[in-house]
Structure 1
Amino acid sequence: MSPMTAIKENALQSLLRHEGPVCSVYFRLEARPEQEDEAQQRWHALARSLSDQRVDTATIEALGDRVRAALPGSGVLAAFAAEGEILFATELPGADLADTAIRTALPRLLPVLEWRQNHPAHVLALVDRAGADLETYPDGGTEALRQTITGADDEIVRNAPGGMSQGRFQNRAEDSWEHNAARVATALSRAVGRVSAHLVLLAGDVRALQYLTKHLPKAVRHQVTIRTVSGGRGHDGAGTLRSAQVEAATLAAAAEETSETLRNLAEERRPGGHAVEGMRATLTALAHRQVSTLLVTQDGPDGRTAWFGPAPTDVSVRRRKALEPGGPALDLTGAPLADVAVRAALLTGADVRVIELGRADAPAQGIGALCRYS
């Protein structure tokens, strides 16, 4: 088994707890070695931009080292640094983002969060009558935990001598297939629970898949969406097609989760419901730790600024915030609304859902929340 890698919540929280400005870099990687010179030129342009923003040399050099370590590669490198130290870095395979380097009061995490939500936890099972190969991916996982399940029963071929024994040999083979499938179902159920997956993708022998589905516990079948993809165990030439189908299925699952979240928001906006929308109401809910899921558009309709302080709940539409009614006010720091809201959400244990700009069902002013209580 190889370890799972993912964009972990505690790593993002550690980044958001950093005090002081942060450099956020998104850099498009080049897969072919002959493109490395072009990539280096693009990095030098970003480095000059950071220098113009008065970023210290040590921080620029640390980012440059991280960029060079990622080449050659594919997708986009997201790296965040301050005071000569890389605070957090991850590669986003398949991402299509322009090169960006900016120094701001808070890290620009929306592209990372959007990429993570488009790669939800899922399990891929490649099944035959003898067992299965499982690939388990956590939310935002770039590598799978791989596991091979081999059934205890090896009477898997229905070859028989004929005559009176024919039926007995067929039944023994069918029993073996079912026993092996039951073992795979147990392992698959554990894999689903390990990463809280809501998507299971199956490929392989039709009869084995029928038995596997039969033996999946009802609780698991109700928790997950099951889809079939091409190919099976072994090198069958279906790998490329299957990869495309897996990507399409995970994107579809992510889109459905976003739509379901927006439907919940619409339902809970009723009087007495557990939802808020708009800048002021959402920041107020964040300040009171009410938010369970923050919904925020990729880019706000304008360059709105919100204000934040040392504590996760120090958020406001105003530059100064009273800590207690009638008490002294705390001077806050300004930053883009989305960055302030994301920081407050992640540091108070809320989920974040990034919404495509321009959706008709997006929350008012591009920001809203489902709340734990009203």
Structure 2
Amino acid sequence: MRLDTVRPIYEHSGPFVSLHLDVSRDTEDARQQLDARWTTTRHDLERADVSADLLGELEERLRAPTHVAGPARRTIVATSDEVLFDDVRSGTTTWPESVGVGPLPDLAGWVSMADGQFPFLLVRADRLGADLELYVAGNSARAESQSVEGSDLHLQKVPDGDWAQKKFQQRSENQWHENAQLAVAAIEHLLVGRGVRLVVISGDVRARADMAQMLGERDDVTIVQTDAGGGRAAGGSDEALWAEIHRALADLEAHSVDLIAQRLARGLAVAEGVVTGPDAVADAMVNGAVEQVVLDLPDARAVGVSAADHPGLALPASATDAGELPADQVLLAAAALTDAEVSVVPHEMPLPRELTLSSGVAALLRWDDRTPTEGETPAAGD
């Protein structure tokens, strides 16, 4: 995932106040749980000398409606006098809730959720057009919606056996196709600049097949057709449809993680294009060589990186003389400031031996000017 959303945070100097808390509203005692969380959070921040004004704003934001159905986490980052970031993510994460003040923001909880979430488009199709629903994540509220209505000019059926029946059928099929084209044009427009990776088409079998075929030439999105409910008619159940959507999202996320593992394995096999370990990755970042940082968050949190050991590493001023800091915090900051992407791999995922022995930190490189050392396998063509 790209870190454009959080890069502005790192353009400030700390100390930073970081909150990552459960703000779910899906239980009967949700309000009482939130009250208890805030009481504990306030006491922690008061001990860290956070101002009363900032405490008031943090409480207001923490209690604000989430517009998310089901479990949700809220991440807030602030300096001593300004909130820099406030984001709600639907779903759950194994990463614990956290409250802290330090030289760098603590965004591990946020990135553990955001990396596995991406926008998708749900299309409810019939032969007149489609209802388009854009979602930013699997359990989020609908972000955008649009209805596309084609023409029913040639869809008035003539009696069976009539001499005009064949002509009617041809005109109807032409009209259905034109209506599908209108819907696809609207879909294409919605896909621009929104990072959509999945389009799920439900509803009328003829309409969805037509639309899927027209969209099939795209290689930047996955197209899934489903007959699991979800038609345009009001009153239908969406339970089966959303189960299908969540399966498709999980499959796409698993595929992405698998591709990363394959790239790591290939690079490690030829000793090119991959570095492992927090310090090696930090050195590569100094040179601007890192394309993508790969993190096993629990392992990366357990080790430290000192900016003093990596002169030129892009970090907020508050971190440059702070001594050793958690590797995940340092590398997320440097990645955001050097336009590197970040991917989180599940802690339980089987990884190449070299990565499991390197504190759960690796990087895929934009270029690699290292000379293989004795015992390494030179890259093809060397």
Partner of 1:113: 111
Partner of 2:186: 187
Distance in 2 (CA, whole Å) between partners of 1:99 and 1:151 is 49
Runs of 4+ deviating beyond 6 Å: none
2:44 to 35, 44, 49: 49
Say how many residue pairs are matched.
Answer: 353
Please report how far the alpha carbon of residue 47 of structure 1 lies from its aligned counterpart in structure 2 after TM superposition. 1.2
Partner of 2:6: 12
1:37 to 29, 32, 50: 32
Q: Is the CA contact 2:119–2:194 (under 8 Å) kept in the aligned structure 1?
A: yes
1:81 to 78, 81, 85: 78
Distance in 2 (CA, whole Å) between partners of 1:15 and 1:137 is 25
Distance in 2 (CA, whole Å) between partners of 1:278 and 1:245 is 38
Distance in 1 (CA, whole Å) between partners of 2:2 and 2:364 is 22
Q: Is the CA contact 2:20–2:110 (under 8 Å) kept in the aligned structure 1?
A: no
1:65 to 60, 69, 77: 60
Q: Is the CA contact 2:103–2:322 (under 8 Å) kept in the aligned structure 1?
A: no
Partner of 2:122: 124
Q: Is the CA contact 1:60–1:84 (under 8 Å) kept in the aligned structure 2?
A: no
Please report how far the alpha carbon of residue 69 of structure 1 lies from its aligned counterpart in structure 2 after TM superposition. 2.0
Distance in 2 (CA, whole Å) between partners of 1:357 and 1:262 is 13
Please report how far the alpha carbon of residue 370 of structure 1 lies from its aligned counterpart in structure 2 after TM superposition. 1.0
Please report how far the alpha carbon of residue 143 of structure 1 lies from its aligned counterpart in structure 2 after TM superposition. 4.0
Partner of 2:150: 151
Partner of 1:234: 233
Please report how far the alpha carbon of residue 120 of structure 1 lies from its aligned counterpart in structure 2 after TM superposition. 1.7
Please report how far the alpha carbon of residue 70 of structure 1 lies from its aligned counterpart in structure 2 after TM superposition. 3.6
Partner of 1:27: 21
Distance in 2 (CA, whole Å) between partners of 1:193 and 1:365 is 38
Q: Which has the higher contact order (CA 8 A, sep 6+)?
A: 2
Distance in 2 (CA, whole Å) between partners of 1:366 and 1:334 is 17
User: Aligned AA for 1:257?
Assistant: S
Q: Is the CA contact 1:186–1:216 (under 8 Å) kept in the aligned structure 2?
A: no
Q: What are the equivalent positions in structure 2 for 1:254-273 lying under 5 Å apart?
A: 254-271=253-270, 273=272
Q: Is the CA contact 2:302–2:326 (under 8 Å) kept in the aligned structure 1?
A: yes
Specify whether residues 102 and 142 from structure 1 end up closer, same or farther in structure 2 by C-alpha distance, changes over 3 A only: farther
Q: Is the CA contact 2:176–2:207 (under 8 Å) kept in the aligned structure 1?
A: yes
Partner of 2:378: none
Specify whether residues 205 and 102 from structure 1 end up closer, same or farther in structure 2 by C-alpha distance, changes over 3 A only: same
3-state SS, counterpart of residue 233 of structure 1: coil
Q: Deviations over 1:127-150 (max 9, x none)?
A: 100011112345797642212222
> Could you list the runs of 5+ residues in structure 2 that have no partner in the other structure?
369-382
Please report how far the alpha carbon of residue 279 of structure 1 lies from its aligned counterpart in structure 2 after TM superposition. 1.9
2:88 to 87, 91, 94: 91
Please report how far the alpha carbon of residue 356 of structure 1 lies from its aligned counterpart in structure 2 after TM superposition. 1.2
Partner of 2:287: 288
The question of 1:336 aligning with 2:319 is answered: no
Please report how far the alpha carbon of residue 8 of structure 1 lies from its aligned counterpart in structure 2 after TM superposition. 8.7
Please report how far the alpha carbon of residue 315 of structure 1 lies from its aligned counterpart in structure 2 after TM superposition. 6.2
User: Aligned AA for 1:366?
Assistant: G
3-state SS, counterpart of residue 164 of structure 1: coil
Partner of 1:346: 336
Partner of 2:373: none
Aligned-residue identity in percent: 24
Specify whether residues 216 and 65 from structure 1 end up closer, same or farther in structure 2 by C-alpha distance, changes over 3 A only: closer
3-state SS, counterpart of residue 365 of structure 1: coil
Distance in 2 (CA, whole Å) between partners of 1:284 and 1:263 is 23
Please report how far the alpha carbon of residue 113 of structure 1 lies from its aligned counterpart in structure 2 after TM superposition. 1.8
| TM-score when normalising by structure 1 | 0.84
Please report how far the alpha carbon of residue 236 of structure 1 lies from its aligned counterpart in structure 2 after TM superposition. 4.1
Specify whether residues 191 and 345 from structure 1 end up closer, same or farther in structure 2 by C-alpha distance, changes over 3 A only: same
3-state SS, counterpart of residue 64 of structure 2: helix
Distance in 2 (CA, whole Å) between partners of 1:142 and 1:343 is 29
User: Aligned AA for 2:359?
Assistant: Q
Distance in 2 (CA, whole Å) between partners of 1:154 and 1:194 is 34
Specify whether residues 266 and 332 from structure 1 end up closer, same or farther in structure 2 by C-alpha distance, changes over 3 A only: same
The question of 1:243 aligning with 2:242 is answered: yes
RMSD in angstroms over aligned alpha carbons?
2.9
User: Aligned AA for 1:78?
Assistant: T
Specify whether residues 8 and 259 from structure 1 end up closer, same or farther in structure 2 by C-alpha distance, changes over 3 A only: closer
Partner of 1:325: none
2:349 to 354, 359, 362: 359
Q: Is the CA contact 2:279–2:305 (under 8 Å) kept in the aligned structure 1?
A: no
> Could you list the runs of 5+ residues in structure 1 that have no partner in the other structure?
1-6, 321-329
3-state SS, counterpart of residue 147 of structure 1: strand
Partner of 1:327: none
Specify whether residues 251 and 280 from structure 1 end up closer, same or farther in structure 2 by C-alpha distance, changes over 3 A only: same
Q: Deviations over 1:315-362 (max 9, x none)?
A: 69xxx9xxxxxxxxx845432001100111111111110111132216
Specify whether residues 271 and 99 from structure 1 end up closer, same or farther in structure 2 by C-alpha distance, changes over 3 A only: closer
Distance in 2 (CA, whole Å) between partners of 1:116 and 1:11 is 11
Please report how far the alpha carbon of residue 227 of structure 1 lies from its aligned counterpart in structure 2 after TM superposition. 1.5
Q: Is the CA contact 1:117–1:139 (under 8 Å) kept in the aligned structure 2?
A: no
| TM-score when normalising by structure 2 | 0.82
User: Aligned AA for 2:250?
Assistant: L
Partner of 2:372: none
3-state SS, counterpart of residue 183 of structure 1: helix
- Most deviating of 136-145 and 76-85: 136-145
Partner of 1:324: none
Please report how far the alpha carbon of residue 195 of structure 1 lies from its aligned counterpart in structure 2 after TM superposition. 2.3
Distance in 1 (CA, whole Å) between partners of 2:321 and 2:18 is 25
